Chain A
Amino acid sequence: MKNMPDHRKNAVLDFSCPTPLSSYERILLAHGSGGTMTHRLIRDIFLKAFRNDHLALQHDGAVVGALAGRLAFSTDSYVVHPIIFPGGTIGDLAVNGTVNDLAMCGARPLYLSASFIIEEGLEVSELCAVVDSMRTAAAAAGVTIVTGDTKVVDRGKGDKIFITTSGIGVIPEGITIDPRSARVGDKILVSGTIADHGIAVMSVREGLEFETAIRSDTVPLNGLVEEILKASSDVHVMRDPTRGGLATTLNEIAEQSNVGILIRQNAIPLDPAVSSACEILGFDPLYVANEGKLVAFVAPHDADHVLDAMKRHPFGKNASIIGEVTAESDQGVVMESSVGGRRIVGMLSGEQLPRIC
């Protein structure tokens, strides 16, 4: 995985905490009291990591300069367990997730807020690892974390740490990306292998061991989006298929644009190790979460051009054209299977449960 920031390779081992909060190894309720311990926590960990003029003011909010053009605004909460997993941490997800949501609106992400709900007893070293990964992720995405909040809840009332990030971005002139604007004939591109994140988290959570380590794909997609938008002015829809996977995202777009979608199983990029893990667990990779992939609906005359642009970018090198938009809106999403049969790809119902045999 070259081109990845270094911290992703070894989130824990590489990390050195800015200041070990003097004698405390774990977060205490008092760290959320608003008193001196809260101040020290903010100063020694958050301010140090996210260092910028907005935060340094320690004001109630960030005051930023006037932004030209239409604004995109998005928010998301992150509650993943475990908080550190192969390929990333909850901190990477919190930054990249909101950056990607803004990017899917066609926006250039600029500013983020970050709120932390920390469970009493979290090891300070783990908090440091998470915060440090946020710092690196924000730098990689070119965004600034300008405001934030910290709360501490009783042990047992949380799951180590929950993070909420919100973000603001500016949409350049002339760009309209909207889940309602898929058109019949549009080609559907996916930027790389699917299901990596969900299986990576699942495998640590359940203590499953595979011969090759499966890593989360969490990355910021704003750079890739810029390349896509440079390559074509006829990009109609972009989405990042996170929770619910590719199938859920395609269903949402089909419904919102009132079109049908035909995809080909053989064209969908899938890592062999992830594919094997899905076989063993009885999961359909189409429904497994991604954190660093996007789907783009592009006018047919520009599809190859956009595909080339994606493949030139490190986060799009496995991009593929997986299907097209059809007029059969009553069928929703249909997949041509690897043996040539056709089937409906519906919305995920409930959650995927590992099967008996």
Chain B
Amino acid sequence: MRFLDEYRDAKLAAHYAGKIRSIATKPWTIMEICGGQTHSIVKYGIESLLPEGLTLVHGPGCPVCVTPLEMIDRAIAIAERPEVIFTSFGDMLRVPGSKKDLLTVKANGGSVQIVYSPLDAVRLAREFPEKEVVFFAVGFETTAPANAMAIVEARRLRLNNFSVLCSHVIVPPAVEAILSSPEHSIRGLLAAGHVCTVMGYHEYIPIASRYRIPIVVTGFEPVDILQGIFMTVKQLEEERAEVENQYSRAVRQEGNIPAQELMREVFEITDRTWRGIGEIPRSGLRLRESFSDLDAERRFPVADIHSQEPAECVAGMVLRGIKRPYECPAFAVRCTPEHPLGAPMVSSEGSCAAYFQYGRVRHEEHA
């Protein structure tokens, strides 16, 4: 496949792995922010190519993982209503709520449908005017523009049976929350290439200088990640703390301006609870007042649903890079993709699921 195979090339990968080994003099710890990167790292066995002592920790960039339990429970309550067609991206369906997940709602007769685009949900609302179609709008700055577009489209079509359950989050405040906590040992960051495709990377420049930490905007293929790690290690060895762009084939400093404008038209910044991490100020997006008639939380009586996370799941520490998935006592024992205790075991981007699927050999070797 063009534009992908080039970045999965064994020779190029070996080249960057060699360069990393030749310049790394200290046991650096680097966090990759995005779950897509985590998955590539584990799927392609990238850690086995890195020098001893260089540690990758996995960040909070899995939209499914950080969606708060409360929001899942609200989604389930809405999906169970007989008049509702509840639409969602596929991997949200298996995320455990307090008592069940959306797949169980579907099995019990609820109308829960996987969509590939939020515009499919708008189409359903037109096709079934007698039903209430609700779209679960989750994700980072990557999914927000398309979701905003669906909301604008629904307004243009004057659909009064379409609404969104909005649990959008944004990356930079979460990064700051992690870096300002005293527990972390992170010395470099791989910023999420796709988020930066939309937002650019100017937001990271003050973070890099405030926390004295190199940040490299990095893609998702194995060669991208190895090159991103190399650029980060090089900065660390040269005692620099700058924002650099490895993913220059997709990311510009200013990002995608029309997409940002669309997001601003529909959403505004709000405080948001991150599953496993807690509330982070100004880290979420909610619908602006002018679109509040499309807000499912206002349309359905779910505001009273409040939920507590199971105590055994250490998802929060995994998402902040303090613990690795296999350091959780429940990992692969009481917590598996079939019976997840926490969301990182569910999503294909969750680090627990990535380790469960691909990485068990390695952690046994380390143990």
Contacts and interface: CB of A to CB of B under 8 A. Distances in A.
A309 interface: no
A344 B1 contact: no
Interface stretch (A131-139, A161-169, A349-357): A349-357
Given A337-B43, A356-B64, A356-B92, A342 B48 contact: yes
Interface stretch (A28-36, A220-228, A275-283, A298-306): A275-283
Contact of A350 (B10, B94, B223, B358): B94
Interface string B326-341: 0000000000111000
B143 interface: yes
Interface residues of B, number: 47
A355 B347 CA distance: 8
Secondary structure type dominating chain A contacts: loop
A353 B92 CA distance: 9
A339 B222 contact: yes
Nearest to A266: B10
A276 B2 CA distance: 10
A340 interface: yes
Contacts of B116: 206, 208, 354
Given A340-B13, A340-B49, A356-B91, A349 B337 contact: yes
B134 to A, nearest CB: 17
A23 interface: no
Interface in B60-99: 63-64, 89-94
Nearest to A338: B8
Contacts of B194: 357
B46 A339 contact: yes
B44 interface: yes
A330 to B, nearest CB: 9
A353 B93 contact: yes
A346 interface: yes
Contact of A341 (B48, B90, B356): B48
B192 to A, nearest CB: 10
B43 A356 contact: no
B44 A353 contact: no
Contacts of B36: 357
Interface of A: 206, 208, 266, 272, 275-276, 279, 282, 331, 334, 336-346, 349-350, 353-357
Identify the 9 closest CB pairs spanning chains A and B, nearest first.
A341-B45, A353-B90, A354-B90, A339-B13, A349-B337, A343-B358, A337-B44, A339-B222, A356-B89
